[in-house]
Amino acid sequence: MWRQANWDEELLFKLSMYGKPTFYFGGNEFAEVVGDVEDLLPKKVVRSKPPQIPNLSEVEVVRHFIRLSQMGYGVDLGPVPLGSCTMKYNPKLLEELAGNEGLRDLHPYQDESTVQGVLEVMYLLQKWLAELVGMDECCLQPPAGASGEFAGALMIKKYHLDRGEVFRDELLVPDNAHGSNPASAAMAGFKVIKIPTSESGEVDIDALRSVLSSRTAGIMLTNPNTLGIFESRIGEIADEVHRAGGLLYYDGANLNGILGVVRPGDMGFDIVHLNIHKTFGAPHGGGGPGAGVICAKGELVDYLPIPTVGFDGVKYFLNYGKKKSIGRVSQFYGNIIPLVKAFLYMLTLGPNVREVAEVAVLNTNYFIKLISGVRGISIPYGKGKFRKHEVVLSFEDLLRDTGVNAEDIAKALIDRGVYAPTIYFPLIVNEAHMVEFTESESRENIEMYAELYRSIVEDAYKDPAKLKKCPENTSVGRLDLGLANHPLTRTPTFKFLSRLGRKSMIR
């Protein structure tokens, strides 16, 4: 039986009782020439009380963090089928090559003549990504998907402002969209108009039509959507929104299901963002860093953030020439290390990227086949339709029958040595599990995962109380979230630890 490591590892702050020799950087021959700190700085700017950070030796630090690492779970241990997160395998070649010191030690303000190699990588990546999504140009600057979305929303904003259409203050967002869509739209100063999903699992076109007006700035869509369903009437949607004077923004979080098969540009989208850490082999890092490339076509290209990388036939250069640009959405040129990984990913696969989408979609539908008919589980919306990158299961029936909910099922899954899917999302599905295997899971693993679901559901019908106790094989048991979030007991940093009472002091 699987059991996760449990090291009972103390917090760093309690690790050492005695001061140990700490890391040092070597020779300080400067004091005799320039004097001491007191000679150089007025007392008021000098730190009055040293930060309370324990003084540990190297081996203590290494053991601490390696122990922590063992109380974690990533794609390199087993399936992480988080829907809309596209947790695919991160090829080790990418890690080896992008992790080299030659990249790490490049200063962003080095003369262009000394960074032609990395600029060429960035230029080619821009070009390949633009080709892949059917856009004219891409900018690599946004450091994550949400940042790409924000850049896109700002481009829509500025485009309308430049045309004197100040009144376009509404951005349409389907009710099944990723939460970052409405959040990004609101950050760019838009009013968010929610579009309902029809029973077919697609945008309700009549509802869409009824809200289109001279106030429409555009629509943010992901296709396939978060139900894993392809918006087959995308052509119509694009025509309607364009006719109303709005723009189409493509959320690239779900691109894996159509990679190289259909291009957002051909569907009528004007702006596209891509999640480098989802679709292009760069790891997620336990929550970043990622990269959120933003692409555009036609006149929208002029609105991309600056700089992009240009090529004048002889040399590569940072191009600040876009006069209508929204400006910088982040410092420098983007998260280069993940971007280089995406470059290597595409260099390796070449036009064969289509295989990624084909197998990812095949995996989703094979899983649906295996899970269909399991008591207590339903697949709402779009009855019988093939899904693309992901599928959303509902445990609504199971909850009604047994009192076991989607969260309990997730905890039972992690108790069996796999990671759980995204739960309670999209919001339009009750008791949701959003499952995305990507192309990286083998047939055996998909069958194993479906079998886990089947046996857990069986347990739920036999002995629901047992499932409420899960997980028991992970480093810790189920958490007290009330305690975690209550104003009197929340503990956002070490100094508040006493709020948890005496219990927190005993392990």
Residues of this chain, 432-461, that bind another protein according to CB under 8 A: 439-443
Q: Report yes or no: 223 and 231 within 8 Å, Cβ to Cβ.
A: yes
Given the complex with another protein, which of 18 and 206 has the nearer CB atom?
18
Report d(CA 357, CA 279) in Å as an integer.
Answer: 10
Please check whether residue 259 is in contact with residue 346, taking contact to mean a CB–CB distance below 8 angstroms: no
Residue 280 C-beta: closest distance to another protein, Å? 11
Residue 280 vs 399, nearer CB to another protein: 280
Residue 323 engages another protein in binding (rule: CB under 8 A)? no
- Distance between CA atoms of 358 and 353, rounded to whole angstroms? 9
CB atoms within 10 A of CB 363: 23
By CB under 8 A, what part of segment 397-436 binds another protein? Answer: 410-411, 414, 419-420, 422-423, 425
Shortest Cβ distance from residue 462 to another protein (Å)?
A: 22
Token pair, residue 245, equals 């004077």
**Alpha helices, DSSP H only, in 296-353?**
336-349
Q: Find the binding residues for another protein in span 156-185 (CB under 8 A).
A: 157-158, 161, 178-180, 182-185
Give the interface size with another protein as a residue count (CB under 8 A): 210
Tell me, rounded to whole angstroms, the distance of Cα 276 from its chain centroid.
Answer: 9
Instruction: Select the span of 207-215, 294-302, 393-401, 467-475 touching another protein (CB under 8 A).
Output: 467-475
Structure tokens at 252: 């690239």
State the DSSP code for 136: S
> Can residue 283 be called a binding residue for another protein (CB under 8 A)?
yes
Q: In angstroms, what is the minimal distance from the CB of 150 to another protein?
A: 6
The window from 239-247, 391-399, 454-462, 499-507 that contacts another protein (CB under 8 A) reads 499-507
Residue 305 token pair: 């953030």
Candidate segments 208-216, 391-399, 455-463, 478-486, binder of another protein by CB under 8 A: 478-486
* Contact pick of 1, 17, 18, 48 for another protein (by CB under 8 A): 48
Cα–Cα distance for residue pair 86/342, rounded to 1 Å: 14
For another protein, the closer of residues 316 and 402 by Cβ is: 316
Measure Cα distances from 296 to 17, 131, 308 in Å: 57, 11, 12
What span, in angstroms and rounded, lies between the C-alpha atoms of 218 and 174? 12
Q: Which stretch binds another protein (CB under 8 A): 37-45, 242-250, 393-401, 449-457?
A: 37-45
Per-position DSSP letters for 235-248, written without gaps between them: HHHHHHHHHTT-EE
Distance CA 31, CA 493 (A): 37
Closest separation in Å from C-beta 499 to another protein: 9
Q: How far is the CB of 215 from another protein (least distance, A)?
A: 15
Considering only residues 197-226, where is the footprint of another protein by CB under 8 A? Answer: none
Between 321 and 400, whose beta carbon lies closer to another protein? 321
Least distance between another protein and beta carbon 453 (Å): 16
Please state whether 231 falls in left (phi above 0), alpha (psi between -120 and 50) or beta. beta
Q: Which stretch binds another protein (CB under 8 A): 207-215, 243-251, 455-463, 494-502?
A: 494-502
Q: Which stretch binds another protein (CB under 8 A): 109-117, 204-212, 391-399, 455-463?
A: 109-117
Q: Is 18 in the site for another protein (CB under 8 A)?
A: no
Interacting residue with another protein among 163, 354, 375, 383 (CB under 8 A): 354
The one among 209, 375, 383, 495 contacting another protein by CB under 8 A: 495
374/500 with CB nearer another protein: 500
Residue 479 contacts another protein per CB under 8 A: yes
Longest Cα separation, the chain:
80
Sign of the dihedral through C-alpha 155, 156, 157, 159: positive
First to last CA, the chain: 25
Query: Which strands make up the sheet holding 271-273, listed edge to edge?
Result: 137-139, 294-296, 271-273, 247-251, 216-221, 170-174, 191-195
Whats the size of the chain, residue-wise? 507
Q: Which of residues 356-395 bind another protein (CB under 8 A)?
A: 356, 358-359, 361-363, 365-366, 369, 385-386, 388
365 vs 397 by CB, closer to another protein: 365
Indicate the residue type of 414. Answer: I
- For residue 20, what are its two tokens? 């140990």
Binding residues among 61-100 for another protein as defined by CB under 8 A? 61-62, 64-77, 80, 82, 85, 87, 89-91, 93, 95, 97, 99-100
Would you say 49 or 323 has its CB closer to another protein? 49
